[in-house]
Amino acid sequence: MKKTMIALAFASALTSAAHAQDMVFTSWGGTTQDAQAAHWAAPFTEKGGPAVVQDGPTDYGKIKAMVEAGAVTWDVVDVEYDWALQAGKAGLLEPLDFTVIDKAKLDPRFVSDFAVGSFYYSFVLGWNPANFSDAKPATLADLFDTAKFPGTRTFYKWSAPGVIEAALLADGVAPEALYPLDLDRAFKKLDTIKADIIWWEGGAQSQQLLASGEAPIGFFWNGRLSALQADGMDVGISWDQNITAADALVVPKGAKNKEAAMKFIAEATSAEGQAAFAAATGYAPVNLGSADLMDPAIRATLPDAQTAVQVNADMAYWAEHRDEIGNRWYAWQAQ
C-alpha cells in the first residue's frame, strides 16, 4: 500500500511539475481567442516554446487579486490598452523585455513600458440592410437620428473608449477637439436615444442583435461585422469617423513563466503572427511589417486601411480617467 501511495504521489508530482512548465494565456474567449490560439500559441509551441494553456475570460479584479496575493497563475493576458496603461502605473504588471520583443517593428501608438498592442480595432456604424430599404445610414449623426432611421440602437455596455466619443462626434464636435471629453455634452446627446438603446455585453451578442433585426443599427467592433459578412450576411458598414481602440498583451507582476511570456509576446506580435491573426479576425495588425504579408483584398477591409476617416481614441486620457468616466457611465445607465 505504501509503495502504491508513494508511486501515486510521485506521479502526481511529475504531473504538477509538467503543468508548471506550461504557459497560461488568458483572453476574452470566442472567435478572437480561437484565432490567438491558432496563430500565436500553436506556432510558439511548434518553434520550441512550452505548451500554452488557454484560460479566460480576462478579469481585471482577478489580476489585481493574484498580484496582491503573490499567487499569479496567468502569464500573458489580453487586456484593453487603456487598462494596461493604468495597471502599469499601479505596479500590477511586469515591465516588458524589449531585448526579446522587437518594439521597433510595432505601431508606436500601441507600445508602452508594460504593454504592447495585441491588435487594434475600430468601432464602426453598422446596420441590417433588411431594415433600411430606402435611405441608408452613413454617419454617426445618423446613428442618433431616430426620426430618419427609426428602430432600436445597440451600443457596447461597458465603459471603454468609443461610445462617449461617438456621441460627441454625432453632436458636431471636431475630432481634434474631442479631448478632454465633454461628458455633460456626451450624456446629453446619449439621453436623446437612451430609451431606444439595447446594450451588448460581448461581440457574439452584438452580432445576434443585428442579425435578428432586434437592433437593426448600432455601434460595433469592426471584426464582428466582418465575421457576419464572412458567414454570408448582408451587412451595412460605414467607416466614416471609425473610432480606434486597442487590446494589449501584458504580463502580470509575479508571473511564474516570465521568460516564456516575453517570448510568447514576441511571437504574437511578429509580422507573421499578426498577419495571420488579422486575416482570421478582421482586426488590424500592430506589426508594421504585416501588411506586406497579407492579401490586398483582405487588407482593404481592415481598420488600418481606413486611416483617412479614422479617429484615434486617446488611450492615455482614458487610462487617467477610466474610473471617473466609468462611475458616471454606469450610474447613467441605471437611471
Of 93, 74, 95, 160, the C-alpha closest to 121 is 160
Of 136, 127, 125, 300, the C-alpha closest to 222 is 125
Q: What is the pLDDT of residues 8-19, one digit of tens each?
A: 333 333 333 444
Cα–Cα dist 213/238, whole Å = 18
Q: What is the pLDDT of residues 88-106, one digit of tens each?
A: 999 999 999 999 999 999 9
Question: At residue 288, what are phi and psi to the nearest 5 degrees?
Answer: -70, -15
Of 200, 209, 217, 206, the C-alpha closest to 146 is 217
Can you list the alpha helix ranges (DSSP code H) found in 2-132? 2-21, 30-36, 42-46, 60-69, 81-89
* Percentage of the chain lying above the pLDDT 70 cut: 94
The overall average pLDDT reported for the chain is 93
If you average pLDDT over residues 171-198, what whole number do you get? Answer: 98
Which value, in Å, is the radius of gyration of the alpha carbons in the chain? Answer: 21
Least confident of 45-49, 66-70, 227-231: 227-231
pLDDT band at 123 (very low <50, low <70, confident <90, very high): very high
Cα–Cα dist 290/267, whole Å = 13
Contact 83, 246 (CB under 8 A): no
Domains and CATH numbers, the chain: 2-120+246-305 (3.40.190.10), 121-245+309-334 (3.40.190.10)
